[in-house]
Structure 1
Amino acid sequence: MLTLYSYPALFGVADNNGYGLKVFAFLKFAGLPFRHTHILDASSAPRAQLPYIVDGDDAVGDSDRIIAYLTHRYDLIIDAGLQLGDRQMGHLVSRMLDDLYWVMSYSRWKDERFWPAFRDALRGAHPELSDEQLRKAREFNAQRYHYQGIGRYAPEEAYARGTADLQVLANLVPASGFLFGSKPSSFDAAIYGFIANIYFYDIETPLKKCVSSNANLINHCRAIHRLMG
């Protein structure tokens, strides 16, 4: 059976990482049967990153490559009705979410105001996590943030980037329905992956405050969340 390997669940969402939740939502939209396995050690994954899937003899990493692979392999029609302009806009949204990822991750692992609550939430949901594992994960992320650049920002500067991304997204997502009509596409799965991990996040970061002030983002998130049941 097709298996999705991704980070653990948290705060009622199936993966506390936007990319893993994106693939999870896409699989649900597609109606493909799959096994969901939560892991923390990504050393055996393609590119040593989560999420990834194993489908028979194929191991595929990177959320966009996973979606492209599954669409081709199983002749999925989720995005079949999208026009060229829709696909191009979806591409731009996906790249904006890549930028948002860093701010969202920063809010969890780096910001001293929110790190203790995030750490305690992880421990509560996953008591198997040791202090040493969390310490190493935090140090690893701090190094990533430094080389990517977001780690060199003051918190208010980092959140200004993230809330700017969210406000653009709020201007694109309709008040009801989905990004390109009445049916969800792979780009709606991508949006859900990130917005759900902010909206259902039980810690009042500036990102959550921004999402909570935009009804259309909430409506979109909740509509997809209901489909995940």
Structure 2
Amino acid sequence: MITVYQTPVAWGTPNLSPFCFKLEAYLRMTGMSYEVKLADLRNAPKGKVPYIELDGLRMGDSQFIIEHLKKKFGDPLDKELTPQQVAVGHTVRRMLEESTYWYIVYMRWVDEAGWLAYRPVAETMVPWVVGGDIPVATLRQGMLRILHDQGTGRHSSEEVQSLAIADITAISTIMGEKPYLLSDKPSSFDAGLYSFLVSIIANPVDTDLKQFTLSQTNLVRYCANFKKRFFANWTPPDMKAA
């Protein structure tokens, strides 16, 4: 049994962290047995979520975890992909995780309307997930500094959303009319794509980015079909602190 440590469930999704969500999607796609527990960053191998415990070993980082699981249990999702498909999947994954991710974070922590919606979620992370009784306002200031240093925090909301919309446009174009990102069969790259799209769509704030994503009929259809196939029987877990 794989124990997955992640942030609290919110906004009707398995997780608001696209990385936690991605890992859980991968586990459901491959049919691996797992349980979910509330993370404590003081116990996280890399100081972030998600992390897992398997056979007495704790491991962090969603992608390193997935690669470890592939080596240990086999690779049923990606074994038929061509080198070109793997290259496209890798490129999309890196764009989502190193570009689109920061736009999602910005819309939650910097944008005032986004922060009003996200603050109750952030409050559920204290003290367990963040590792102590840290005021939520202090958490926000820390995130603002991180975003400023990273670069995204130096932009206006309109500029950030225009960059994110360019990412979504590229993904929609790559997918075209295929049922999944790379072909007519799901791959591990779909675990990440689905988690990021839902992270945008689930935002209760009606942003330009959300509306644009919902206007891409192929992506909306993709999300609906993915949910029906892999998350139809999902119910919020009874998450307990580690």
TM over 0.5: yes
Distance 1:147 1:127 in 2: 23
Structure 2 unaligned residues grouped into runs of 5+: 234-242
AA matched with 1:189: A
Alignment map for 1:150-161 (pairs within 5 Å): 150-161=152-163
Give, in angstroms, the shift of residue 178 of structure 1: 0.8
Map of 1:74 onto structure 2: 73
Alignment map for 1:136-155 (pairs within 5 Å): 136-155=138-157
Instruction: State whether structure 2 residue 37 is matched by structure 1 residue 37.
Output: yes
Residue identity over aligned pairs, in percent, reads 30
Q: SS at the partner of 1:35?
A: strand
1:198–1:208 CA contact under 8 A, matched in 2 = yes
- Please, which of 205, 220, 225 is the counterpart of residue 218 of structure 1? 220
RMSD: 2.0
Map of 1:105 onto structure 2: 105
Distance 1:46 1:63 in 2: 12
Alignment map for 1:1-229 (pairs within 5 Å): 1-39=1-39, 41-98=40-97, 99-120=99-120, 126=124, 133-226=135-228, 227-228=230-231, 229=233
1:20–1:50 CA contact under 8 A, matched in 2 = yes
Structure 1 unaligned residues grouped into runs of 5+: none
Give aligned pairs, total.
226
Distance 2:125 2:189 in 1: 34
Give, in angstroms, the shift of residue 104 of structure 1: 0.4
Distance 1:53 1:63 in 2: 9
Distance 2:226 2:81 in 1: 19
Q: SS at the partner of 1:113?
A: helix
1:162-220 superposed Cα distances (whole Å, 9 cap, x missing partner):
11111111111233511122221111101011001111222212221111110111111
TM-score between the two structures when normalised by the length of structure 2: 0.87
Distance 1:158 1:57 in 2: 42
TM-score between the two structures when normalised by the length of structure 1: 0.91
* Misfit runs of 4+, over 6 Å: 127-131
1:43–1:49 CA contact under 8 A, matched in 2 = no
AA matched with 1:92: T
